[in-house]
Structure 1
């Protein structure tokens, strides 16, 4: 596997391999940070901090866990620490999103409203619920990968996801009733 070769080369001191590895993961790191923290600037700061930490600690990575799990643990922990330090509610900044639709302006506008409302609802979740939702539904991690990334028991991950889905269902109940953004 190419990733494993890059990791071994990076651990042996190959700077180019390490830079290549960091470039391959930077989008995933940023995406996780953005969805946990809720705004672009904090996400950029957290992603940069995570990439620096990965750069410095690449030699501590052991093949017990998948590399992406190890990386997500680092970025998630940084985000949770940052979230706890600020203790403030952050609002999402307007951002561009890519949607696939039938092409009508009305469909695209509704899609952007729905996406914004879902993001807003995710931001209202407690930090531990938000982290598992981001890893499960936005990063497509398995329950076991989430448990490894967050250093949580598997049943705790399942419980957090169950509670998070219940909270999201309540927060988004207007959509279930066929309502639209007001």
Structure 2
């Protein structure tokens, strides 16, 4: 954390090269978060670049009152949410084919794709705030405290929203069936 504050101070003092340290430290984590929101690698790359530019211009607003990581996530996620509101839709695409070449048996590949498609459909049934908390918790593996700071709600609200989101997903599975219902009935 001290290192990040030093980088911020260097950038604000005119050393623009110090910003490359911040980019290198956070670009992959931001990409993973934004990819989880967009489900489109190209859009995620564009949004990460735009968000990092926005962070650069807002560095002076960082007040050292929380972790720098939470602050940078908040700026990036707010930027994405603004873009989503402008477009009024989120593009949903499977990215598994472009991200990995799988040499497994065709049936296993099919089942993995089906599972991912079902999971995306389940996630799409959630309100935006609950979907975001699920992504931050399980994709980015952030703590409840970090999520709380990031989305600016109490830790208890994060816990409640996470619980409600998982409950809604379970109810959807029970009601509509699908891959996850088949798996849960096998136990």
Which position in structure 1 is the counterpart of 2:163?
Answer: 162
C-alpha contact 1:118 1:172 (8 A) present in aligned 2: no
CA distance in 2, matches of 1:51, 1:88: 22
Larger Rg over CA atoms: 2
SS of residue matched to 1:46: helix
Give how far 1:142 is off: 0.9
- Structure 1 unmatched ranges of 5 or more: none
State whether residues 38 and 123 of structure 1, in contact with CA within 8 Å, keep that contact through their aligned partners in structure 2.
Answer: no
Q: Equivalent residues in 2 for 1:17-166 (5 A)?
A: 17-88=18-89, 90-95=91-96, 96-98=98-100, 104-166=105-167
In 2: Cα distance, 1:127 partner to 1:144 partner: 19
User: Which whole-Å deviations, capped at 9, do the CAs of 1:137-169 have from their partners, x for residues lacking one?
Assistant: 111111111111111122221221112112222
- Which ranges in structure 2 are unaligned for 5 or more consecutive residues? none
Q: Is the 8 A contact 2:30 2:48 kept in 1?
A: yes
* Aligned mates of 2:109, 2:3 — CA distance in 1: 38
**Matches of 1:170 and 1:100 in 2, distance apart?**
32
Distance 1:59 1:29, change over 3 A: same
Relative distance call for 1:17 and 1:89 in structure 2 (3 A) is: closer
CA RMSD in angstroms comes to 2.9
Instruction: Give the TM-score taking structure 1 as reference length.
Output: 0.81
Q: Would you say how many aligned residue pairs link Structure 1 and Structure 2? A: 179
Instruction: Verify: 1:177 aligned to 2:178, yes or no.
Output: no
SS in 2 for 1:64: coil
Taking structure 2 as the reference length, the TM-score comes to 0.79
User: What is the SS of the residue equivalent to 2:58?
Assistant: helix
